[in-house]
């Protein structure tokens, strides 16, 4: 477990850069993580992030399909907001563990 300072806060991260402790996440930290991923974060991004965090906190399985059926964005919009690897990037920025469905 490594430590990294993001948005003037030192957090514990794993070898892939995901937060070890979800409770360390803040919006400011999420914004900085988004910048590292090359994403200019918007309110729509934060709506998706809130959905992801709520789903994970409830212990529910997180998939691209679930995000697409959230009513916040469809799958195409999800790929536009988090290009390349949407679920991987979105979960990293959200401060939640990497889903098992992500390689």
Distance CA 95, CA 20 (A): 8
Residue in 17, 46, 102, 103 annotated catalytic: 102
Residue among 94, 90, 74 nearest 82 (CA): 90
Task: Reply yes or no on whether 49 is catalytic.
Answer: no
Q: Which helix (H) or strand (E) holds 9?
A: strand 9-13
CB neighbourhood size of 70 (10 A):
16
| Residues forming beta bridges with residue 4, ordered by sequence position | 11
Catalytic residues: 102
């Amino acid at each position: 477990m490594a430590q990294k300072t993001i948005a003037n806060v030192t957090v514990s991260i794993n070898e892939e850069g995901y937060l070890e402790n979800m409770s360390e996440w803040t919006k400011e930290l999420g914004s900085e993580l988004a910048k590292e991923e090359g994403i200019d974060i918007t309110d729509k991004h934060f709506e998706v992030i809130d959905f992801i965090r709520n789903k994970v906190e409830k212990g529910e399985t997180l998939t691209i399909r679930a995000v697409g059926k959230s009513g916040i964005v469809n799958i195409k919009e999800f790929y536009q907001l988090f290009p390349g690897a949407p679920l991987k990037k979105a979960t990293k920025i959200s401060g939640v563990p990497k889903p098992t469905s992500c390689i």
